A and B are shown apart, each in its own frame.
Chain A
Amino acid sequence: MTATGDLARQKGRSGPSPAVVPVLIFAPCLIVYLVLFVWPQLSLLTTSAFDKGQLSGVHYVRFLGDEYYWELLGRTLLLGVCVTLITLVLGVPVAYVLARMQSRMAALLLILTTFPLLVSAVVRSFGWMVLFFRDGIVSNTLQALGLVDHPLQLMYTLTGVIIALAQVLLPLMVLTLHGVFKSIDPDLEFAAMSLGASPPLALCLVTLRLARSGIVAGSLLVFSLAISAFATPGLVGGARANVMATAIYEQTIEMLDWPFASTLATVLLVFVLALSLLYGAALDRRAKSESVA
């Protein structure tokens, strides 16, 4: 020790050797992930691929051979597409307006957007159930407006699930797109307008074009969450508007058919993984286009 002057008063201490530190830092997380994440996922795959102790594709054959499951898959994807479209139609304008607002109002509205995310999906779905009730306000309003001529049944229909789930996922779309629009210089629109484009045209030609890969990324995120959502379809859709997630729940809790449930889960997982790879690619493209700009 140099230990001159003040430093000599310091008590001697020594830490662990430098090479041990990174190992200690990663150890808790790695152990938790390997035991509770990697291992269970692998055992899910093997469960779906084994029958009576033997490697077998029998569960996948059952899935592919039954029209019911094709319909189930189709309905799930339809749910995903519709939810994504609704969140896009509402999310793009909201995110754009919020990104271009300068005031405290924007911060407040952003908090208002985040708030639903903090409320359990169960509670939000419950809210929709009250609204969808046969004499509920949605049905009455639509009748009063003359859009439908008989009490509208939204409970236990795919339409109801779509409306409810789009509300559940809209905040995520808005927050994703808000970041995207925020990173696009508003002066670009002024530039386009000074060259003769009308405001809506400037918005479409410049900002939306630049935001394209961000919009794609947000859509993929919402789509993959929509096809794997459980609480909302479970409550609003019930047994009559069955989707993949609710079917998996049925197979496990009610039928106790774990191998087949694992098969359905694996199919869902494959879709979600494929989408997340596309999502990653979209983000990459966005990062690249930003670094060029």
Chain B
Amino acid sequence: MEIELRNLAKSFGATKVVNDLSFSLEKGEMIALLGPSGCGKTTTLRMVAGFIGPTSGAILVRGQDVTRLPPHKRDSGLVFQNYALFPHMTVTENIAFGLNRRGIPREEQKARIAAMVEKLKLKGLEQRYPKQLSGGQQQRVAVARALVINPAILLLDEPFSNLDAKLRESTGIELRRIQRELGLTSIFVTHDQNEAMAIADKIAVMNGGVIEQLGSASEIYETPATRFVAEFIGKANFLTGSVVDRSASGVRIDLSSAGALVVPESKVGRDARHVEVMIRPENVVLTADPALQSLQGVVDVISYQGATAHAIIRLPSGLTLMAECKGREAGWMSPGGKVFASLQPESVTVFRH
């Protein structure tokens, strides 16, 4: 195992910022720590980098305990959110900084810097100072500076948050390509679910200092472990209900104001009675005519987005449902119009209430 975090915890005074956090990474894997601000993701990253000492727990890199090592003796390359480029040094000097600290001979330094400049498309910018670079260029210098030292772990602290939306996507893909190429084990902190899902091998969704769910992008989206994960990743409708009948054909849940639903038994906890049913908007099927188990409602808002169209449906009970369908299939809907919504039992997730 390349990196392992064992029961890591950090308290500032009485507040537990990170609590009993564990995960491990194989060589070349990239994990995204995803969560809202204050969830402990940055604290975790800073503990791995050595800027914050954990209250308890251990950090192992290649089997060695580094928990008590000062930052400059750890072998990690960190890309800071604000890039933290040294303003008084040129691009080359910035990249060379870590090599100098490691006593790498001049000739080898030159070759490695040249390779990084090539890889990150920084040619021609070598003698510039950070403030003479665009945001995207600064970001690439920060990445080059962290990569050139061949770190055991690459740490990325919201590396794209200061880029504009267009650049963010292409930079993310580029970074992922380089990370794969170099086989770098990486931890990536972000509050942006799209970024996390697009780039990371696995995602740890964090909340209140603990990992709510650890899994691949599709796992956390399709089968969220907790209501928090379901709500934080993507959009979700939540309907409260209670189990009224269990039979071979499935579990019947009475959603009171939104009718009833029979879902496969595997989706419902054995002794659950009061439940919450989560359904993604794209799994709410809208039709002009009544269908099996469908609910009648009125189109409240319909907004056309191109590839998709988003609708908000108001049920007679006053409850609203978010629904999403293909853009070109939404033409028949208009605000105030009658609509039938059916929930696909196989695509719902049931939480205990």
- A and B in direct contact, judged by CB atoms within 8 A: yes
A residues apposed to B, CB below 8 Å? 1-7, 9-11
Which B129-159 residues have C-beta < 8 A from chain A?
Answer: 149-150, 152
Whether the Cβ atoms of B64 and A10 lie closer than 8 Å is no
A11 to B102, CA, bound (A): 8
**Which of B64, B69, B102 has the most chain A CB atoms closer than 10 A to its own CB?**
B102
Whether the Cβ atoms of B150 and A5 lie closer than 8 Å is yes
Whether the Cβ atoms of A4 and B62 lie closer than 8 Å is yes
B65 closest partner in A (C-beta): A2
- 7 residue pairs from A and B, CB less than 8 Å apart: A1-B64, A3-B75, A4-B61, A4-B152, A5-B150, A5-B152, A11-B103
Return chain B residues, CB-CB under 8 Å to A10.
101-103
- How many chain B residues touch A (Cβ–Cβ < 8 Å)? 16
Return chain A residues, CB-CB under 8 Å to B62.
2, 4
A2 to B102, CA, bound (A): 14
Return chain B residues, CB-CB under 8 Å to A5.
75, 150, 152
Whether the Cβ atoms of B152 and A2 lie closer than 8 Å is yes
Main secondary structure of the interface of B (DSSP, over half): loop
Whether the Cβ atoms of A6 and B104 lie closer than 8 Å is yes
A6 closest partner in B (C-beta): B102
Return chain A residues, CB-CB under 8 Å to B61.
2, 4
One digit per residue, 1 when the CB lies within 8 angstroms of any chain A CB and 0 when it does not, for chain B 65-81 equals 01001000111000000
Which among B69, B104, B152 is the interface contact of A9 at CB below 8 angstroms?
A: B104
Return chain B residues, CB-CB under 8 Å to A9.
102-104
Return chain A residues, CB-CB under 8 Å to B103.
9-11
A93 to B325, CA, bound (A): 67
A15 closest partner in B (C-beta): B70
One digit per residue, 1 when the CB lies within 8 angstroms of any chain A CB and 0 when it does not, for chain B 91-116 equals 00000000101111000000000000
Whether the Cβ atoms of A2 and B104 lie closer than 8 Å is no
Return chain B residues, CB-CB under 8 Å to A3.
75
B150 closest partner in A (C-beta): A5
A164 to B101, CA, bound (A): 58
B76 closest partner in A (C-beta): A2
Whether the Cβ atoms of B75 and A7 lie closer than 8 Å is yes
A4 to B185, CA, bound (A): 14
Whether the Cβ atoms of A2 and B66 lie closer than 8 Å is yes
Return chain A residues, CB-CB under 8 Å to B75.
2-7
A4 to B69, CA, bound (A): 14
A90 to B90, CA, bound (A): 47
Return chain A residues, CB-CB under 8 Å to B73.
1-2, 7
A181 to B75, CA, bound (A): 51
Return chain B residues, CB-CB under 8 Å to A11.
103
Whether the Cβ atoms of A2 and B74 lie closer than 8 Å is yes
A10 to B104, CA, bound (A): 9
A1 to B70, CA, bound (A): 10
Q: A10-B101, A10-B102 are in contact. List 19 more A-B contacts (CB 8 A).
A: A1-B64, A1-B69, A2-B62, A2-B64, A2-B66, A2-B69, A2-B73, A2-B152, A4-B61, A5-B152, A6-B75, A6-B99, A6-B102, A6-B149, A6-B150, A7-B75, A7-B102, A9-B102, A9-B103
Return chain B residues, CB-CB under 8 Å to A7.
73, 75, 102
One digit per residue, 1 when the CB lies within 8 angstroms of any chain A CB and 0 when it does not, for chain B 151-194 equals 01000000000000000000000000000000000000000000
Return A15 CB to nearest CB of chain B, in Å. Answer: 8
Return chain A residues, CB-CB under 8 Å to B150.
5-6
Return B27 CB to nearest CB of chain A, in Å. Answer: 12
Return A5 CB to nearest CB of chain B, in Å. Answer: 5
Return A11 CB to nearest CB of chain B, in Å. Answer: 7
Return chain A residues, CB-CB under 8 Å to B152.
2, 4-5
Return chain A residues, CB-CB under 8 Å to B69.
1-2
A6 to B103, CA, bound (A): 8
A139 to B149, CA, bound (A): 76
Return chain A residues, CB-CB under 8 Å to B74.
2
Return B144 CB to nearest CB of chain A, in Å. Answer: 15
A36 to B350, CA, bound (A): 75
**Which of A2, A3, A5 has the most chain B CB atoms closer than 10 A to its own CB?**
A2
Return chain B residues, CB-CB under 8 Å to A2.
61-62, 64, 66, 69, 73-75, 152
Return chain A residues, CB-CB under 8 Å to B99.
6
A1 to B75, CA, bound (A): 9
A241 to B103, CA, bound (A): 70
A1 to B61, CA, bound (A): 10
A7 to B102, CA, bound (A): 6
A11 to B101, CA, bound (A): 9
A11 to B104, CA, bound (A): 12
Return A292 CB to nearest CB of chain B, in Å. Answer: 27
A3 to B63, CA, bound (A): 12
A45 to B73, CA, bound (A): 54
A7 closest partner in B (C-beta): B75
**Which of A7, A9, A10, A11 has the most chain B CB atoms closer than 10 A to its own CB?**
A7
A113 to B150, CA, bound (A): 54
A2 to B150, CA, bound (A): 13
A85 to B69, CA, bound (A): 62
A57 to B64, CA, bound (A): 73
Return chain A residues, CB-CB under 8 Å to B149.
6
Return A265 CB to nearest CB of chain B, in Å. Answer: 46
A2 to B104, CA, bound (A): 18
Return A254 CB to nearest CB of chain B, in Å. Answer: 54
A9 to B104, CA, bound (A): 8
**Which of B64, B66, B75, B104 has the most chain A CB atoms closer than 10 A to its own CB?**
B75
B103 closest partner in A (C-beta): A9
A74 to B101, CA, bound (A): 66
Return chain B residues, CB-CB under 8 Å to A1.
64, 69, 73
Return A6 CB to nearest CB of chain B, in Å. Answer: 4
One digit per residue, 1 when the CB lies within 8 angstroms of any chain A CB and 0 when it does not, for chain B 41-71 equals 0000000000000000000011010100100
Return chain A residues, CB-CB under 8 Å to B102.
6-7, 9-10
B153 closest partner in A (C-beta): A2
